[in-house]
Amino acid sequence: LIMSEFQSIQISIADRYYPLKIAVQDEEKIRAAVKIINEKVDLYRKKYATRDIQDALSMALLQFVIRLIEAEQKEESAQIVDELQNLNTLLDEYINVNLA
């Protein structure tokens, strides 16, 4: 990427500000991610009536990682199904050519 394709932005997560230098095309994703993180943190702060931001961040992080693991497992399952379907096709072709 060319330097002009980067920009500096400032984000706020759990009442802390972070300056970032990002690719221009990533800004929308980053801001959407920040919004989701802050919504989860607020949810856990209210749900557990905690003033400790670390607790809310930890619970939000746990939830995100659980969802990531579930998504990875689904992706792995889909890949296995695809591979099994390909193997089945190859076996059908072999049977039709050699055993028909």
pLDDT digits (tens, 9 = 90+) for 5-40: 999 999 999 999 999 999 999 999 999 999 999 999
pLDDT at 49: 86
CA distance 5 to 72: 31
Number of separate domains in the chain? 1
Who wins on pLDDT, 20 or 3? 20
Q: What is the pTM of this model?
A: 0.71
Contact 13, 32 (CB under 8 A): no
List 10's β-bridge partners, or say none.
19
Mean pLDDT along residues 79-95: 88
Question: Average per-residue pLDDT in the chain?
Answer: 90
Secondary structure letter of residue 51 according to DSSP: -
Residue 55, exposed/middle/buried by CB under 10 A (0-12, 13-18, 19+)?
A: middle
Q: Where are the beta strands (DSSP E) in 14-91?
A: 16-23
Domain region containing 14: 3-98
CA distance 63 to 44: 10
CA distance 88 to 100: 16
